[in-house]
Structure 1
Amino acid sequence: MISFELTEEQKIIQSTIAEFAREELSSEARRLDDAAVIDAGVLGKLWATEFIQLHATVDEEERSAVTSAIVLEELGAADAGLALAMASTMAFVGAVADQGTQEQRETLLPHFTGGSFQPAAVAIMEPSFGFDVERIEAKAARSGDDYTLNGKKAMVPLAGKCSHFLVIAQCDGALDALIVPREAAGVSVAETKGTMGLRALELAEVTFENVRVPAAARLSGGNGADVQRIIDGARTGVAAILTGLCRGVIEYVIPYTKERIVHGTALARKQTIAFNIADMHMDIEAMRWMTWKAASDLEHRRPSVQSAQLAYTYAGQQAVIITDNGLQALGGHGYTKEHPIELWYRNARALSVLEGIAGV
């Protein structure tokens, strides 16, 4: 029998982050979505959790993918956009701490242990219909002892505020990861065009045109990065956020349908509504267990391709169904900004199609 009994430390972290998310972040979600930007004050609150800084340590015993999944679920229950802002930087920092050379760790990780939130991102997605991580078009071609990077990346979180990008590209005939500073010549960030969901993340396209990348900037040096591990971590991170988002939906829908009286009976007593809520609960439990299984595989360095893909795919599919059912439970009210369901629905739709923008 598979069991993921949380340690005492994990239980403390879970309850602490849950309280923080409920008291500090939930009330900000609507304002940030309307403004389509995450202000420095809210980013400072995320930074104050010191969870990103924890990922900047090279001591693997201090980092746990399962604990990260727990944290991202709690943040996702408050606001998926803020959870993804955290997870995006975690993905970059975690990749450097996990796979970077000694020089890369010593040079980069101190940037993420300071007094303010410093965004960074893994750039995987590309602006092509039917994007597939197995067919990356960005290329890094040898140019003397270094490389010349060309390509475009799409939907990069907080792109305009990032100090560094970890660009996944074809390099020497295989996928590799290259560390590129935001201010490098040839790097340009497009204006945010606005999206249906995750509006506050300022998702933007980043172009790399003849960017000179030193050979020393290849993650893991000349050995080549384990790109699949980065992708698996990203899929697991998104699954955790979607689990939290869906938990937020059910925790809102249950009290609403108990209090809402229609034709003399509480909505929660209507068979269709009651069965939908029961299905939501079962699906969320399945999402969480699949996410923790993938995170456990990553943490213990077991093969994680299948578990991460299954967790990500299932969470994406069920999140759309769960948020839609939540919307229907509120009837016409679900489409108004008076309730957060429409925001969660938009965020779920966006998260279900994004690939490689998070990390545990």
Structure 2
Amino acid sequence: MGLGLAALTKIASAPIIDKFGLRKQFETLVQSGTRTGFKAAGAATRSFKKIQGHNKPARLTPAPAKDLFDLEPDEEQSLIAETVQEFAAEQLRPAAVDADAKLAPPADLLERSAELGLSAVGIPESLGGIGTERSAVTNVLVTEALAHGDMGLAISVLAPSAVSTALTLWGDEDQQATYLPAFAGENVPAAALALQEHVALGDPLKPSTTAKRTPKGYQLTGVKSLVPRAAQAELFIISANLDGSPALFLVESSTSGLSVEAEPAMGLRSAATGKVHLDQVDVPVTALLGEGKLDVFTDLVRLSRLAWAALAAGTGKAVLDYVIPYVNERTAFGEPISHRQAVAFSVADIGIELESIRLTTLRAAARAEQGKPFAREAALARKLATDKGMLIGNAGVQLLGGHGYTKEHPVERWYRDLRSIGVMEGAVLV
């Protein structure tokens, strides 16, 4: 097996696993990976068998409440974050240049990333996963660590877990029994959370895609934009306007009337973004996710925006880690350019803005994790990530001078990726 499984084996042998009672979950995942490996399967070969008659949906228990806002992750979170950071450094970062040029992530990379068990950790044990608690803070740390490798590839890796997380949080018992076992298995299906639309000043709470009631269910019509790995996805969660209110629908890629076309963008090119066309797509009554409740939809949008803020923090950290050695090693007039006050102040500004994004995002995630209102904090995190993320990307390019504009250095790619933060909705979830 690959790096991810080796990392999980390392985790399973760590003494703190016993301390936190996680031995059973990690051994289950390691044994599963060792026993079966991974099987290649395309979107056209999988068939989700509809299951009905289960008593009640399975949910992960909330993480234990904390009296104080602790700025440091606990031991378990630190171990998980370090493992993901190693994976991002060894697997995502080296693959980023080719993936950006080819407009697609390498297939073998996605198989290796599945070994990390990102989807299985968020799925209850009763449905084949290894999850026992839901922690939005841990998910933020994982998202940030992956983005430090490459934002586009991080989105490709995280897209399926966004769908499985939504099913765990809001799916009914039949929806969970139908879809979640596949996400907890050896061959995780490609899937995508599709909220984004080509609408000027678009509001995710007012989707232009429509859902019309029919005798057998619903009929969806519209177009979703910048959907990660759209061509490979086997399952979509689609937002649509139902009776004047936003709602979420589970739509399989094989459904009649659904088609996909490539849609490369300025940034996130390694995420293989595409358009999803819905031409009078008929889905059953059971396709409605979260019973069409508005509070479910608003929570999903806010948790998605926190994920984008975490992506901005991870990419911003990559910029900072790259420019510091550059300005210390690059000389002008006989001394490093970091000795110039303007250069030093610019680097300091990157560090300051990066911390503001991280702390605001973690505070919002902590409130979400504890079941407290987090709408204000999520809005602040998105605003900071949008504005200051662009400042960080721009400063990174400027500090490298003419080199910052060339593909010889990764800062131009990070600048393009950071521009997506204020534009994108959906795709990822914490």
**Alignment TM-score, normalising by the size of structure 1:** 0.95
Partner Cα separation in structure 2 for residue 210 and residue 268 of structure 1: 59
Partner Cα separation in structure 2 for residue 45 and residue 170 of structure 1: 37
In the other structure, the counterpart of 1:42 is 109
In the other structure, the counterpart of 2:168 is 97
Where do 1:128-139 residues align within 5 Å? Answer: 128-139=199-210
Q: CA deviation at 1:119?
A: 1.6
Where do 5+ consecutive residues of structure 2 fail to align? 1-67
Name the larger-Rg structure.
2
Partner Cα separation in structure 1 for residue 74 and residue 257 of structure 2: 47
Where do 5+ consecutive residues of structure 1 fail to align? none
**8 Å contact kept, 2:226–2:263:** no
Partner Cα separation in structure 1 for residue 291 and residue 299 of structure 2: 16
Q: 2:100 aligns with which of 33, 43, 58?
A: 33
Identity of aligned residues (%): 34
Q: 1:57 aligns with which of 124, 131, 140?
A: 124
Q: CA deviation at 1:112?
A: 0.9
Q: 1:323 aligns with which of 393, 396, 412?
A: 393
* SS of aligned partner of 1:160: coil
1:307 to 2:374 alignment: no
Where do 1:148-167 residues align within 5 Å? Answer: 148-167=219-238
Partner Cα separation in structure 2 for residue 73 and residue 107 of structure 1: 30
Q: CA deviation at 1:223?
A: 5.9
**8 Å contact kept, 2:198–2:225:** yes
Partner Cα separation in structure 2 for residue 56 and residue 219 of structure 1: 17
**8 Å contact kept, 1:187–1:209:** yes
Partner Cα separation in structure 1 for residue 268 and residue 288 of structure 2: 30
Q: Which amino acid aligns with 1:240?
A: A
**8 Å contact kept, 1:215–1:221:** no
**Alignment TM-score, normalising by the size of structure 2:** 0.80
* SS of aligned partner of 2:100: helix
**8 Å contact kept, 1:91–1:233:** no
Q: Which amino acid aligns with 2:425?
A: E
Q: CA deviation at 1:152?
A: 1.1
Q: CA deviation at 1:293?
A: 1.2
Q: Structure 1 72/222 Cα, relative in aligned 2: closer, same or farther at 3 Å? A: closer
Partner Cα separation in structure 1 for residue 125 and residue 311 of structure 2: 25
Partner Cα separation in structure 1 for residue 244 and residue 393 of structure 2: 42
Partner Cα separation in structure 2 for residue 286 and residue 223 of structure 1: 33
Partner Cα separation in structure 2 for residue 357 and residue 151 of structure 1: 17
**8 Å contact kept, 1:328–1:334:** yes
In the other structure, the counterpart of 1:181 is 252
Q: CA deviation at 1:172?
A: 3.1
Q: CA RMSD in A?
A: 1.6
Partner Cα separation in structure 2 for residue 283 and residue 225 of structure 1: 31
Q: 1:4 aligns with which of 71, 90, 113?
A: 71
**Deviations, residues 321-354 of structure 1 (Å, cap 9, x unaligned):** 1111111111111111111111111111123311
In the other structure, the counterpart of 1:144 is 215
**8 Å contact kept, 1:167–1:177:** yes
* SS of aligned partner of 1:167: strand
Partner Cα separation in structure 2 for residue 91 and residue 349 of structure 1: 21
Q: CA deviation at 1:88?
A: 2.3
Q: CA deviation at 1:62?
A: 2.6
Q: CA deviation at 1:270?
A: 0.7
Where do 1:261-340 residues align within 5 Å? Answer: 261-340=331-410
1:249 to 2:316 alignment: no
In the other structure, the counterpart of 2:155 is 84
The number of residues matched between the two structures is 359
Q: Which amino acid aligns with 1:172?
A: D
Partner Cα separation in structure 2 for residue 120 and residue 209 of structure 1: 20
Q: Which amino acid aligns with 2:399?
A: A
Q: 1:111 aligns with which of 182, 186, 199?
A: 182
Partner Cα separation in structure 1 for residue 197 and residue 422 of structure 2: 16
* Structure possessing the higher relative contact order (Cα contacts under 8 Å, 6 or more residues apart): 1
In the other structure, the counterpart of 1:13 is 80
Partner Cα separation in structure 2 for residue 34 and residue 160 of structure 1: 18
Q: CA deviation at 1:288?
A: 0.6
Q: CA deviation at 1:309?
A: 1.7
Partner Cα separation in structure 2 for residue 11 and residue 218 of structure 1: 37
* SS of aligned partner of 2:225: strand
Q: Structure 1 334/213 Cα, relative in aligned 2: closer, same or farther at 3 Å? A: same
Partner Cα separation in structure 1 for residue 92 and residue 282 of structure 2: 40
Q: Structure 1 320/99 Cα, relative in aligned 2: closer, same or farther at 3 Å? A: same
**8 Å contact kept, 2:309–2:361:** yes
